[in-house]
Structure 1
Amino acid sequence: MSIRFAVRGEHIQLDQLLKAAGLVDSGGAAHVAVEEGRVRVDGKLETRKRAKLRAGQRVRFAGEEIELVGVGPEEA
């Protein structure tokens, strides 16, 4: 399944994204998922819990794909 997530501002941190998208219950759970090697960004394993993600990138975790999309200035 695919989730479209609007990035407000320049970026969102990976741990914040997983929580905001409802894929983990807490920031701690997001950190564990990254540490265990269960998160991929643009098809590559991501090991940085606070990696800065931008519109156009894709994150895969727990059978879900999150597509990051930009938000226009009038919507931010």
Structure 2
Amino acid sequence: MENTIEITKEYITLGQLLKEAGVIDTGGMAKIFLLEYTVFVNKEQDQRRGRKLYPGDVVEIEGAGVFEIASSSN
């Protein structure tokens, strides 16, 4: 099952996505989370919390699910 994360800006970082998706409580937890769990961005493993995610990107987070980035229609 895919979840959609809508963004109003050009991009969101991987760390922001983790917080927005409810995977972590604070941005500071992103670094530790990414060291302990496998994350794939568009089917390629990526552990950089500053990785820019744009509409259309698909992020698979171990233990949390699959998230698609979408542009908010504001």
Same fold (TM over 0.5): yes
Q: Give the 3 Å change call, closer, same or farther, for CA 21–63 of structure 1 in structure 2.
A: closer
Aligned to 1:67: 68
Q: State the Cα deviation string for residues 25-62 of structure 1 (Å, max 9, x = none).
A: 22232222222351110111112111110000011112
Report the 3-state secondary structure (helix = DSSP H, G, I; strand = E; otherwise coil) of the residue aligned with 2:55.
Answer: coil
Q: TM-score, normalised by structure 2?
A: 0.84
The answer (yes or no) to whether the contact 1:33–1:39 under 8 Å persists in 2 is no
Q: SS at 1:18's partner residue?
A: helix
- Identical amino acids, percent of aligned pairs: 32
Instruction: Using structure 1 for the length normalisation, give the TM-score.
Output: 0.82
Distance 2:8 2:30 in 1: 20
Aligned length: 73
Calculate the aligned-residue CA RMSD, in Å.
1.5
Name stretches of at least 5 consecutive residues in structure 2 with no aligned partner: none
CA contact 2:2–2:67 (8 Å) conserved in 1: yes
Following TM superposition, where does structure 1 have runs of at least 4 consecutive aligned residues deviating by more than 4 angstroms?
none
Question: Gaps spanning 5+ residues in structure 1: where?
Answer: none
Matched, 1:21 2:15: no
Could you tell me how far apart the structure 2 residues matched to 1:29 and 1:55 are? 24
What is aligned with 1:9?
9
Deviates more, 1:29-38 or 1:3-12: 29-38
Corresponding residue for 1:47?
A: 47
